[in-house]
């Protein structure tokens, strides 16, 4: 009997010790004035692709390297387009020279037509007096018609040549754009997140060349229960911790609060599993040194009570 009671007593002591040990190892509750959330660092990714087909002859892409807006990322071989451009530009010059000759001929023919008009008028008057024969008048009229036909023909040629010049100029402009598109520049100050092509490979419209991201404009979205969202204000200070730097806190601020509640996303762990309706809160991260990267999981603490001091160590609530 005593042995049975002793066994129960020992088991009770062990159970009680285990319980208190478990309680002792749990992280403390979150201090008043603070809210906890977790999520992943996000950045606006800019996907760079080619607009023309060409083989890569120059690449300045290095993953992790910063690039300035307007700097050359990749250059494609545009030798064919340049050759066609040279031909189009030569054609424009040749047609312009031809147009000048036609204009000179037209000016001469216009003068001859005016002379023929005067001669016809004079001979018509002389014919009435009988000084000029009908045959001579017909010769003058025929010469005038020939001059008129020459002027009309030259004017048509002038219009046609002008149209040809316009087409050649449009073709040259198009080819010039194609040549320019062979050089792909950075659209913003950013960091090369990934590159999708190497020197010697063939680029084509739509093929990924690189992915850029502005590491100075990173965000992190956390989800907070409906019951506490009223405490959060724009520009509330935030501290962020990532696994890559467990002993460092990064500064952030509340940038935006969603206006509608939603069900808790599947990849978000809430301290209270019973929480279902949550509001998204977007945090703007300070990342001047570039340590934070898109995709990093992060813990965040929002200080909504300005009268509270930041604790030395932030804890993840149970």
Residue with the larger pLDDT of the pair 154 and 2: 154
Query: What per-residue string of b and e applies to 176-215 under the rule 16 or more CB within 10 Å gives b?
Result: eebbebbebebeebbbbbebebeeeeebeeeeebbbbbbb
| Confidence grade of residue 271 (pLDDT, cut at 50, 70, 90) | low
Residue with the larger pLDDT of the pair 243 and 7: 243
pLDDT for the residue 266 = 62
On whether the CB atoms of residues 191 and 43 are closer than 8 A, the answer is no
Residue with the larger pLDDT of the pair 170 and 141: 170
pLDDT tens sequence across 56-104: 999 999 998 999 999 999 999 999 999 999 999 999 999 999 999 999 9
* Mean per-residue pLDDT, 161-180: 94
pLDDT tens sequence across 98-116: 999 999 998 988 888 888 8
pLDDT for the residue 298 = 95
Label residue 268 exposed, middle or buried (CB < 10 Å: 0-12, 13-18, 19+).
middle
Whether residue 18 has pLDDT greater than 50 = no
pLDDT for the residue 309 = 92
Asked which of 114-123, 152-161, 204-213, 268-277 is least confident by mean pLDDT, the reply is 268-277
Please state, for a pLDDT cut of 70, what percent of the chain lies above it: 87
The alpha carbon torsion through 275, 277, 280, 281 (nearest 10 deg) reads -60
Residue with the larger pLDDT of the pair 18 and 308: 308
Q: Whats the size of the chain, residue-wise?
A: 318
Q: Two tokens at 307?
A: 């009268």
> What global pTM score does this model have?
0.68
**Mean pLDDT score of the chain:** 86
Residue with the larger pLDDT of the pair 65 and 11: 65
CA distance 234 to 239: 15
| Confidence grade of residue 55 (pLDDT, cut at 50, 70, 90) | very high
pLDDT for the residue 118 = 87
Asked which of 30-44, 112-126, 291-305 is least confident by mean pLDDT, the reply is 112-126
């Amino acid at each position: 009997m005593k042995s049975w009671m002793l066994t129960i007593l020992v088991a009770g002591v062990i159970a009680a010790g285990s319980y208190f040990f478990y309680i002792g190892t749990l992280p403390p509750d979150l201090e008043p004035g603070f809210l906890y959330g977790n999520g992943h660092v996000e950045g606006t990714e800019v996907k760079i692709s080619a607009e023309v087909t060409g083989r890569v002859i120059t690449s300045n892409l290095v993953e992790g390297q910063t690039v300035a807006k307007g700097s050359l990322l990749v250059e494609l071989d545009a030798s064919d387009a340049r050759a066609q451009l040279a031909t189009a530009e030569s054609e424009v010059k040749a047609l312009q020279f031809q147009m000048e000759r036609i204009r000179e001929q037209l000016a001469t023919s216009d003068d001859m037509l005016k002379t023929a008009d005067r001669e016809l008028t004079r001979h018509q008057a002389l014919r009435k007096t009988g000084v000029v024969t009908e045959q001579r008048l017909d010769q003058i009229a025929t010469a005038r018609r020939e001059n008129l036909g020459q002027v009309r023909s030259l004017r048509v040629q002038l219009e046609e040549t002008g149209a040809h010049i316009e087409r050649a100029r449009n073709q040259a402009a198009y080819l010039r754009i194609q040549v320019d598109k062979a050089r792909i520049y950075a659209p913003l100050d950013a960091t090369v997140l990934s590159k999708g092509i190497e020197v010697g490979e063939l680029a084509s419209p739509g093929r990924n060349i690189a992915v850029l991201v502005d590491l100075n404009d990173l965000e992190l979205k956390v989800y907070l229960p409906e019951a506490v969202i009223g405490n959060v204000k724009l520009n509330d200070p935030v501290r962020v911790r990532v696994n890559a730097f467990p002993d460092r806190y990064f500064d952030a601020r509340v940038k935006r609060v969603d206006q509608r509640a939603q069900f808790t996303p599947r990849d978000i762990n809430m301290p209270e599993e019973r929480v279902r309706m949550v509001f998204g809160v977007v945090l703007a991260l300070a990342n001047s040194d570039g340590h934070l990267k898109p995709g990093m999981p992060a813990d965040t603490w929002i200080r909504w009570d300005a009268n509270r001091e930041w604790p030395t160590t932030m804890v993840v609530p149970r």
